[in-house]
Amino acid sequence: MEVICLVVIREYKAKDLDSTINLMREYSKLLGSTDFNETDTKKTIKLRTLNPKYHTLIAELDGKVVGMCYVDIERNDLTGEHEGLIKNTVTDADYQRRGIATKLVEKGLDILSHSKIDKIKVEVREEVKPAIKLFQNFGFKLVGTVMERDVITIREYNPRDFKDTVELLKIYSEEVGITFDENEWADTMSERIYNSKYRQLVALDNKEQKIVGMCFLSLYKSIAGALVGIISHAVVHPKYRNRGIGRGLLTRGVDILSILKVDKIRITIATEISQTDAFFKQVGFDKMGYLLTKKVG
């Protein structure tokens, strides 16, 4: 006689902790994340059990946890509506294509149908885009695309940033056709960080803890006696371009120079990267002249 093992969908229990952590770790890898934090995930799962508006559903097959999802009820701060949210639906890789995710969603919808909510939302990550069809089978309609970006922090240069800035300046030097000397750069930074006339800004990718952009700020008096702020050596790592990082550095630089009450702010654009002319015009800079150089000897 054949024994048929049925999938049981139930609420999370404390004994499921290790299994749910393993599922979340695999889900994190699927989404391309390399910084899964087991401690934080354990804390989140435990805290969810204390809030009646949060349900952590478990799919159990023959005594083994093979899937899970979150079913939450939240209030929309703009509309005041209460919304149901189904997220983090994941099935053990060895048990996929057995309808387990479908049963998890069915149970989630059943829970939400007995709650006073106005709408049910789901978010499907790009890495698991085929799951859209699963939710469409339950009557969900595709109404938008969720976009996200890593957080980039613009801050002052710190000596520990030296290695990353060396990489950036090598890129900058190659693009503008000059020779970069790392020893000279080290000496320059040793002088600049203790001189109030100079500031160095860097863009930090918080996730990777890597400096991905930088620029210099400096002050000088013109012949007419005007205090002029200079923005120079602005560079963003090629892998991070077209993400607004250059604009962020420039905006912060302009803010700092404005606080220092400069009369004018100037930036020199190398002819090798003159396609950025339009960008600087967009943020309020006007062309006022040209820079020419000649090699001697």
Q: What is the pLDDT of residue 95?
A: 92
Domain coordinates in residue numbering, the chain: 7-136, 152-282
pLDDT digits (tens, 9 = 90+) for 166-175: 999 999 888 8
Please check whether the two domains, 7-136 and 152-282, share a CATH topology: yes
Q: What is the pLDDT of residues 71-127, one digit of tens each?
A: 999 988 888 889 999 999 999 999 988 999 999 999 999 999 988 888 999 988 888
The contacts of residue 279 (CB under 8 Å, 6+ apart) are 246, 247
Q: Mean of the pLDDT values across residues 213-236?
A: 90
pTM of the model: 0.60
Per-residue model confidence (pLDDT) at position 2: 40
Q: Which two tokens stand for residue 179?
A: 């020779």
What is the overall mean pLDDT for the chain? 87
CATH of domain 7-136: 3.40.630.30
**What is the structure's pLDDT at 1?**
38
How many angstroms separate the CA atoms of 118 and 155, rounded? 43
CATH superfamily name and code, 152-282 = Gcn5-related N-acetyltransferase (GNAT) (3.40.630.30)
Angle, in degrees to the nearest 10, between helices 38-48 and 17-30: 120
- Percentage of the chain surpassing pLDDT 90? 49
